[in-house]
Structure 1
């Protein structure tokens, strides 16, 4: 009996690791992580733009730089076939992404364009943060309105 228990326990990490090797699950987790990093940095800038957080040029510039850096990642590559809402757990991606992939990529390119120069644009006072947040937020909304399930 002891040998069976040892053998079962020895196989447990393999079963857990096999689940972690699921490319669909990995792509969804990566998308969530990516969006969480964007949200944290957008939250910092948004808080400053609204006056809820004291303006700090260094912090604002770092948050904007993080967003700029994130937009250099090929986010659309994380949208694997079979990872849409209704097909995979924890996905909010509408199936329209895969039937309109060129438009989806164009929406992401819009975010990339909105992020260009954000690091410097937020410098010089809290009044400079709002326009950057509006530009970035507009790019996010353009994609979310079409390609993200409402939660």
Structure 2
């Protein structure tokens, strides 16, 4: 009987580990997206004039976005973490079904973010073009891969 109980317990360990990994990935992914959103909000608030333009803060936000765009996403988008998996997420299964296109669109964010800090530090008028590039890259991915 002990062997049966032990075997049952040991059989559940990999499942629990996978569940933890999925939950951790979803939590990390949400944090990643939140960091992008916080820095985008800093730039857009300055661009709209809702907050005074601050070159240092704009540069920092742009640099943060550029750094985040270079983060390796492999640990954030693991199998079993889509809306179809019952996960508390907005990540559509199309991410894994069209992984090459997803990677291409993420590369578009990297391209849009390149030099964002330096450009954003160039004055309030420079923020519009920076935000257009970044927003376009975000939209390209969200249109196909994010549940609204």
User: TM-score per shorter chain, which class?
Assistant: 0.7 to 0.9
**Structure 1: runs of 5+ lacking an equivalent:** 1-17
Q: Distance in 1 between matches of 2:109 and 2:124?
A: 22
Across the aligned residues of Structure 1 and Structure 2, the Cα RMSD in angstroms comes to 1.6
Alignment correspondent of 1:37 = 35
Count of matched residue pairs: 133
Which digits, 9 at most, give the CA deviation of each residue in 1:38-85, with x for residues without a partner?
000000001111111110000000000111111111124411111110
Please say if residues 47 and 53 of structure 1, whose CA atoms lie closer than 8 Å, have aligned partners that are also in contact: yes
Alignment correspondent of 2:79 = 81
Q: Distance in 2 between matches of 1:20 and 1:63?
A: 34
* Runs of 4+ that moved beyond 2 A: 18-21
Alignment correspondent of 2:11 = none
Question: TM-score, structure 2 length as denominator?
Answer: 0.85
Alignment correspondent of 1:101 = 99
Greater helix percent: which structure? 2
1:110 is aligned to 2:89:
no
Which digits, 9 at most, give the CA deviation of each residue in 1:22-43, with x for residues without a partner?
1110110010000000000000
SS in structure 1 at match of 2:79: coil
Question: TM-score, structure 1 length as denominator?
Answer: 0.83
| Residue number among 14, 22, 29 corresponding to 1:24 in the alignment | 22
**1:1-151 equivalent positions in 2, closer than 5 A:** 22-150=20-148
Q: How has the CA–CA distance of structure 1 residues 59 and 24 changed in structure 2, closer, same or farther, with 3 Å as cutoff?
A: same
Q: Distance in 2 between matches of 1:89 and 1:102?
A: 22
Alignment correspondent of 2:5 = none
Shift of 1:114: 0.3
Q: Distance in 1 between matches of 2:39 and 2:142?
A: 18
SS in structure 2 at match of 1:22: helix
